[in-house]
């Protein structure tokens, strides 16, 4: 049974990164139904599919301390979307950092801040050797690639993948090793809870 308790996992100066609560689910479903948000994610998904994604994330966090979890703005408790670490089947045992925010919250640096906190957690607490991030290359998802570069990630390789629906897509994989992360410029401070 999945607990929907909103447990804080990490915090930054502006964000709380936590497990999902029941009141997050309709908001998460709305962003997952937005065709602009999901343009590079295989397109909109139903409420049931969105809830299943959140349930998977909650279970992964309970089992392994990672997961694509809720992002909340600390000053007012507004649900912004999700961010976190998860397994990538095609490149197991690599772990991917990923994010998905409601469109009205784009352009404020929230994705970079949340992902930087998860990278810090991955490299310091979980002792991961490397973290990757994957997005579309044709057409290019320039917004996500910009976040990857701001995180200190570098182009690793191009790949031809198949999404969850069986549709092929041209992908680009960025990566950062623990050594690269440690030698990078100042890091966003994330405090484990």
What pLDDT, in 10s, does the model give residues 149-191?
999 999 999 999 887 778 888 999 999 999 999 998 655 445 5
Task: Judge whether 1 lies within some domain.
Answer: no
pLDDT for 68 beyond 80: yes
Task: Judge whether 13 lies within some domain.
Answer: yes
Task: Judge whether 3 lies within some domain.
Answer: no
* Cβ-contact 119, 137 below 8 angstroms: no
Task: Judge whether 190 lies within some domain.
Answer: no
Percent of the chain with pLDDT over 90: 82
> Which residue range forms the structural domain that includes residue 40?
8-184
3-state secondary structure the chain: CCCCCCCEEEECCCEEEECCCHHHHHHHHHHHCCCCCCCCCCCCCCHHHHHHHHHHHHHHHHHHCCEEEEEEECCCCCEEEEEEEEECHHHCCCEEEEEEECHHHCCCCHHHHHHHHHHHHHHHHCCCCEEEEEEEECCECHHHHHHHHHCCCEEEEEEEEECCCCCEEEEEEEEEEHHHHHHCCCCCCCEEC
Longest Cα–Cα distance in the chain: 42
Q: What pLDDT was estimated at residue 2?
A: 83
Q: What pLDDT was estimated at residue 163?
A: 75
Higher pLDDT, 54 or 93: 54
Model pTM score: 0.93
What pLDDT, in 10s, does the model give residues 53-64?
999 999 999 999
Task: Judge whether 192 lies within some domain.
Answer: no
Q: How confident is the model at residue 8 (pLDDT cuts 50, 70, 90)?
A: very high
Task: Judge whether 177 lies within some domain.
Answer: yes
pLDDT for 69 beyond 90: yes
**CATH no. for residue 23?**
3.40.630.30
Least confident of 19-23, 46-50, 92-96: 92-96
Phi then psi for residue 18, to 5 deg, are -150, 170
How many domains does the structure of the chain reveal?
1
Task: Judge whether 2 lies within some domain.
Answer: no
Task: Judge whether 31 lies within some domain.
Answer: yes
CA distance 169 to 159: 9
What pLDDT, in 10s, does the model give residues 109-158?
999 999 999 999 999 999 999 999 999 999 999 999 999 999 999 999 99
pLDDT for 193 beyond 60: no
Q: What pLDDT was estimated at residue 88?
A: 84
CA distance 144 to 168: 19
Looking at the DSSP bridge assignments, the partners of residue 124 are none
């Amino acid at each position: 049974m999945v607990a929907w308790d909103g447990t804080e996992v990490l915090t930054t100066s502006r964000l709380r990164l936590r497990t999902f609560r029941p009141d997050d689910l309709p908001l998460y479903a709305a962003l997952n139904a937005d065709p602009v948000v999901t343009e590079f994610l295989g397109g909109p998904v139903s409420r049931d599919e969105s809830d299943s994604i959140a349930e998977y994330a909650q279970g992964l966090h309970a089992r392994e301390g990672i997961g694509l979890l809720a992002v909340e703005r600390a000053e007012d408790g507004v649900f912004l979307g999700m961010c976190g670490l998860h397994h990538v089947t095609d490149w197991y045992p690599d772990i991917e950092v990923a994010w998905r925010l409601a469109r009205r919250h784009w352009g404020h640096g929230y994705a970079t801040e949340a992902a930087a906190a998860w990278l810090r957690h991955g490299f310091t607490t979980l002792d991961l050797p490397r973290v990757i991030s994957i997005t579309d290359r044709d057409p290019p998802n320039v917004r996500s690639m910009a976040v990857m570069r701001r995180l200190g990630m570098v182009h690793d390789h191009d790949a031809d993948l198949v999404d969850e629906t069986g549709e092929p897509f041209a992908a680009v994989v960025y990566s950062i090793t623990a050594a690269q992360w440690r030698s990078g410029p100042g890091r966003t401070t994330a405090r484990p809870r």
